[in-house]
Amino acid sequence: MRWLFFVIINLWVLNGALAQGKFLAKDGYVSFFSHSLLEDIKADNNQVLSIIDTDTGSIAIQLLMRSFMFKKALMQEHFNENYVESYKYPKATFSGKIKDFDTLNRRNGKTEIVGVLSIHGRKKEISTMAMIEFINNEIVLKGEFWVEVADFDIKIPKIVENNIAKSIKVNFELHHKPYN
């Protein structure tokens, strides 16, 4: 009986130790902005999933393309049907690493994030600087980076090519909480 109690306690402690290294954001925020002379396009997505492994500094992010919300319904329809083809490529993902995560020692400041961004069935290595904050028991990442539309084989019809920028600014804010 004592042996069983010892095994149960050890499994409980081990499970807690393994879970301590994972932080999860279930409702992260990503937006993008396209500025051109004829029209500005902005979309927001509040359904972004992200996980950080604090033992390795690895980060993974996933979002549904259809979750981007636009001010104009027609823009949203064109985005999903004509440009990112979200019926065919429903998700965007990022898999990478927060550089020097182990030496941050829970200090707020700038950090570099490097990894592979996958959109529209295409992958591209990216690197960006982000602000990392350790607030209470959360890890918050905020930052921005630029995406070249051509890098992800997103076709823009000639008739509207002046309405959409070739480089799109992407902003993110992810509040990670301990994953149990």
- Please name the residues in contact with 143: beta carbons below 8 A apart, sequence gap of 6 or more: 113, 128, 129, 130, 131, 171, 172
pLDDT in tens, 155-165: 888 888 888 88
- Looking at the DSSP bridge assignments, the partners of residue 116 are 95, 125
Count of CB atoms within 10 A of residue 165's CB? 20
| CA–CA gap between residue 163 and residue 158 (Å, rounded) | 10
Residues 6+ apart with CB under 8 A from 24: 49, 50, 51, 176, 177, 178, 179
Q: What is the pTM of this model?
A: 0.85
pLDDT, one tens digit per residue, over 65-113 is: 999 999 999 999 999 998 999 999 999 999 999 998 988 877 899 999 9
1.10.760.10, 2.40.128.110, 1.20.140.10, 3.10.180.10: CATH of 22-178: 2.40.128.110
Q: How far apart are CA 60 and CA 137, in angstroms?
A: 19
User: Where are the domains positioned within the chain?
Assistant: 22-178
pLDDT at residue 29 greater than cutoff 60: yes
pLDDT digit string (tens) for 82-94? Answer: 899 999 999 999 9
CA pair distance 22, 18, nearest whole angstrom: 8
Q: What is the SS3 assignment for 67?
A: helix
- Mean per-residue pLDDT, 10-19: 42
Q: Kindly give the pairing relationship between strand 91-98 and strand 69-70.
A: unpaired
